[in-house]
Chain A
Amino acid sequence: MRLPLLALLTRGPAHGYELKQDLEKLLGAAYPQPNVGQIYVTLGRLEKSGLIEGEDVEQSGRPNKRTYRLTDAGREAVLAWFEDTAEEPRVRDEFFMKLALAPQSGMADPITLINRQRRQYLNTMRDLSKLAASEDRDNKISQLLIEGAMLHLQADLDWLERCQEELE
């Protein structure tokens, strides 16, 4: 959450609740909604490490609201973030471990494990289809996020198929 918040602040100062709303609007309902407490905690930490500066703004009849602006160090951090490539997604290692250890333990049949896992993935795929359909078609970022999830899942299903071919 740290760097997305910093990146949003490159547009100009904002307060915590604004940032939460902007993030939601950008990513759509598909992405797990950031909770506002988590955002305030993160902003506090970013301020402590000197990447942003907070300023209290008085509001009539309501508690002060704290507005944050990016520091030069914060801008550097965002630049470095965009410079870096992201890590590869990891192979589902827990299922892999089960598959590897099932014959060793003699307590589970690998094919049964694969079939069960496939059912779960297919149901998730179905949920993702539903989500894609219920989300705003024009929110490209959100649609791409869902499509990415579906393609990952498709790859997982293809891999299960390979496992089944080899282990059957």
Chain B
Amino acid sequence: MSDDAAGGAPAAPGPTPAPEPAPAPAPIVRAEGLTKTHHGEGAPVHAVRGVDLTVRPGEFVAVTGPSGAGKSTLLHLIGGLQRPDGGKLWIGGQRVDTFREARWAVLRRRSIGVVFQFFNLVSNLTVADNVELPALLAGASPKAARDSRAELLAELGLEGRERAMPGELSGGEQQRVALARALVNHPALLLADEPAGSLDSKGTREVLRLLSRFHQRGQTIVMVTHDARMASAADRVISFFDGRIADDAQLGGGRREKPGGVSRVLDLKE
């Protein structure tokens, strides 16, 4: 699903022809000097101050840090939910910081899935419609949208809940619906903003298990969390303080491809 996003090569110093021994795949996310300041009442808040970040295909990156450190703002900038004041941003090799809302909407529909702490489902649509809607908006036929929805809901253990309204579901179930909605268009990038922030420990485990499962299949994920247990499921943890990256750590000692390593972390028995 990265084909459509690989279009325009950036005019700025190119990220792709880096003089590295092995040709690395184009990053899913590349940010340079990303900056965002919130102007509200009182003093301006420098939420993101000159962040450089590269996320490669297949990575599962967690961003942790104290509340108010700017980690959610960073995620929103990457997903185009907020616009940076400065810096450059590429998604799938395409320069996007200059995009207006209409182009962002298209990009998000095709290439970026987002899940939020409070699910943000459409409360007067059924579970099935919540999941099918983004597929239809992206141009899928009604049948294709139904098929994708059925497949995802089965996968997420929500068979039989298609006709339910979001309000009739538990928090954990609502987050699974939100995950299905985010993934229905097979986005190259999944963004998760405190996805277990309003769930109990059972719901948290469930969401983690599913994120890990999609990651194992190659889904690129960037997740903001204050929960170290969530963060340790990722293979890279960025510590965010005061609008800046304080540390960027590969877990498990660098690139891990050993069988049964990260892949089995949360493969809980059903």
Query: A residues near B, CB below 8 A?
Result: 111, 115, 118-119, 121-123, 125-126, 128-130, 133-134, 137, 150, 153-154, 157-158, 161-162, 164-165, 168
Contact = CB atoms under 8 A, between A and B. Distances in A.
13 contacts: A119-B247, A122-B228, A122-B231, A123-B251, A123-B253, A125-B231, A126-B265, A129-B232, A129-B233, A129-B265, A133-B267, A161-B65, A165-B66
Given A123-B251, A161-B66, A165-B66, A129 B246 contact: no
Q: Which of B227, B232, B246, B247 has the most CB of A within 10 A?
A: B232
B66 A130 contact: no
A126 B251 contact: yes
Contacts of B104: none
A130 B237 CA distance: 17
A134 B264 contact: yes
Interface residues of B, number: 25
Which secondary structure dominates where chain B touches chain A? loop
Contacts of A129: 229, 232-233, 265-266
Nearest to A155: B228
Contacts of B232: 122-123, 125-126, 128-129
B37 interface: no
Contacts of B65: 161
A126 B239 contact: no
B249 interface: yes
Contacts of B267: 133
B246 A164 contact: yes
A161 B264 CA distance: 28
A157 B228 contact: yes
A72 to B, nearest CB: 43
A125 B265 contact: no
A160 B253 CA distance: 21
B269 interface: yes
Interface in B252-270: 252-253, 262, 264-269
